[in-house]
Amino acid sequence: MSRTVYVNGEYVAEEDAKISIFDRGFLMADGVYEVTSVLGGKLIDFEGHSVRLQRSLSELDMAAPVDMDELLAIHRELVKVNEIDDGLVYLQVTRGSDGDRDFVFPDPEKTPSTLVLFTQNKPGITESPASKTGIKVISVEDQRWTRRDIKTVQLLYPSMCKMMAKAAGCQDAWLVEDGKVTEGSSNNAYIVKDGKIITREISNDILNGITRAAVLRFAREAQMIVEERSFTIEEAQQADEAFVTSATTFVLPVVEIDGAQIGDGKPGSVAPRLREIYLEESRKTAI
């Protein structure tokens, strides 16, 4: 069945949605995005995603195409018309098209940004097999640009990392810079040692995950100890547990890194517990 999508003020069938070939998102990857999960027909962590979107836009001197109330209304309308129970809403803002190709930014007064949103239906998203078995990851050199705090649509290298992981019989890659893990190709990375949860501190080196913030808050509220610092692949391989977080996978155990089993090779107790708390608490505040 064809989805209804949103393009610059209009709700249209996906096959009728049109964007200029001169759009800077297409030509220059000059755009930012957000992905918000939907559970039980409601948006998870919407406020966090909209605040991060505003930050991404302002870091790139891009105007917000609509205000945040309007953005929420568009999200809700798409969830409703596409009858999404469990799934996600993808949102992308680009610097638009001034009808030609030029490295120089167009005048924002004359060239409005492009706003596109669409839904993905993912029934049973919280019960994924990977959440029960955990995933295997490989380590890969982090070759991305150094403003990873901005959620841009420059996803070629993360895509290549996923392909490298797939070729190695794994599900994802952890990126390593100067000997330390930055994050996963599309998630934040954690290890657990002696009950302590360790994850890299926030900086321009990683994306400030909305799920990360929520999970660390819930962990601290549950009296768990959190240490925000970087770690090596070797330290991770010797950890008791490892896991990743993102808006669409929530909390996902990692059971193998570069062929080395973590703990007994099965999800431990901390990651599944955090997953349960995260899902329960975020359902409560979903809008």
Does 187 bind ligand PMP (CB under 6 A)? Our answer is yes
- From candidates 50, 139, 152, 186, binder to ligand PMP by CB under 6 A: 186
- What pairing do the DSSP bridges indicate for beta strands 135-141 and 250-257? parallel
Rounded Cα distance, 3 and 92, in Å: 17
Compare residues 5 and 91 and give the one whose CB is closer to ligand PMP: 91
Count of residues engaged in binding ligand PMP, rule: CB under 6 A:
13
Q: Which of 259, 256, 254, 233 is nearest to 244 (CA)?
A: 254
Compare residues 31 and 209 and give the one whose CB is closer to ligand PMP: 209
* Least spacing, CB of residue 102 vs ligand PMP, in Å: 29
Does 36 bind ligand PMP (CB under 6 A)? Our answer is no
Reading phi first (left if > 0) and then psi (alpha if -120 to 50, else beta), residue 284 is in: alpha
First to last CA, the chain: 26
Does 188 bind ligand PMP (CB under 6 A)? Our answer is yes
- From candidates 245, 254, 275, 282, binder to ligand PMP by CB under 6 A: 245
262 within 8 A of 239, measured Cβ to Cβ: yes
* Least spacing, CB of residue 92 vs ligand PMP, in Å: 13
Does 56 bind ligand PMP (CB under 6 A)? Our answer is no
* Least spacing, CB of residue 147 vs ligand PMP, in Å: 12
- From candidates 87, 96, 106, 209, binder to ligand PMP by CB under 6 A: 209
Q: Which of 165, 282, 181, 267 is nearest to 230 (CA)?
A: 181
Counted residue by residue, the chain has a size of: 287
Choices 93-101, 109-117, 224-232, 241-249 (CB under 6 A): range interacting with ligand PMP = 241-249
Query: What is the chain's percent helix, strand, coil content, to nearest 5?
Result: 30, 30, 40
Choices 197-205, 223-231, 242-250, 270-278 (CB under 6 A): range interacting with ligand PMP = 242-250
Compare residues 28 and 35 and give the one whose CB is closer to ligand PMP: 35
193 part of the active site? no
Does 210 bind ligand PMP (CB under 6 A)? Our answer is yes
- What pairing do the DSSP bridges indicate for beta strands 135-141 and 172-177? parallel
Compare residues 2 and 143 and give the one whose CB is closer to ligand PMP: 143
101 within 8 A of 27, measured Cβ to Cβ: yes
User: Rounded to whole angstroms, what are the CA distances from 230 to 120, 136, 175, 179?
Assistant: 33, 20, 12, 10
Does 200 bind ligand PMP (CB under 6 A)? Our answer is no
Does 230 bind ligand PMP (CB under 6 A)? Our answer is no
Choices 12-20, 115-123, 240-248, 267-275 (CB under 6 A): range interacting with ligand PMP = 240-248
Q: If you count DSSP H runs as helices and E runs as strands, how many of each does the chain have, helices first?
A: 8, 15
Choices 60-68, 73-81, 203-211, 233-241 (CB under 6 A): range interacting with ligand PMP = 203-211
Q: Which amino acid would we find at residue 222?
A: A
- Return phi, psi of residue 182, to 5°: -85, -65
Provide the annotated active-site residues.
151
- Using CB under 6 A as the criterion, which residues of the chain lie in contact with ligand PMP when the complex forms? 35, 183, 186-188, 207, 209-212, 245-247
